[in-house]
Amino acid sequence: MLKIGLTGGIGSGKSTVAAIFNVLSVPIYYADKEAKRLMNENNSITASVKSLFGEKSYSEGLLNRQFIASVIFNNPEKRIELNNIIHPATIKDAEHWMNAQQSPYCIKEAALIFESQSENKLDFIIGIHSPIELRIKRVIERDGISENEVMQRMQVQMNEEEKLKKCDFIIHNNESTLLIPQVVELHHQLLDIANK
Residues lying near ligand ATP in the complex (CB under 6 A): 8, 10-16, 111, 138-139, 142, 173, 179
Nearest distance in Å: CB 130, ligand ATP: 7
Which of residues 19 and 47 has its CB atom nearest to ligand ATP in the complex? 19
Distance CA 57, CA 192 (A): 47
Which of residues 41 and 143 has its CB atom nearest to ligand ATP in the complex? 143
Please count the other Cβ atoms lying within 10 Å of the Cβ belonging to residue 68: 20
Distance CA 91, CA 98 (A): 10
Distance CA 76, CA 78 (A): 5
Which of residues 3 and 135 has its CB atom nearest to ligand ATP in the complex? 135
3-state secondary structure of 139: helix
Where does residue 61 fall: left (phi above 0), alpha (psi -120 to 50 degrees), or beta otherwise? Answer: left
Nearest distance in Å: CB 10, ligand ATP: 4
Nearest distance in Å: CB 61, ligand ATP: 25
Question: Which residue from 74, 72, 88 is spatially nearest to 38, judged by alpha carbons?
Answer: 88
Nearest distance in Å: CB 36, ligand ATP: 12
Nearest distance in Å: CB 99, ligand ATP: 24
End-to-end Cα, the chain, rounded Å = 11
Which of residues 10 and 113 has its CB atom nearest to ligand ATP in the complex? 10
Which of residues 28 and 139 has its CB atom nearest to ligand ATP in the complex? 139
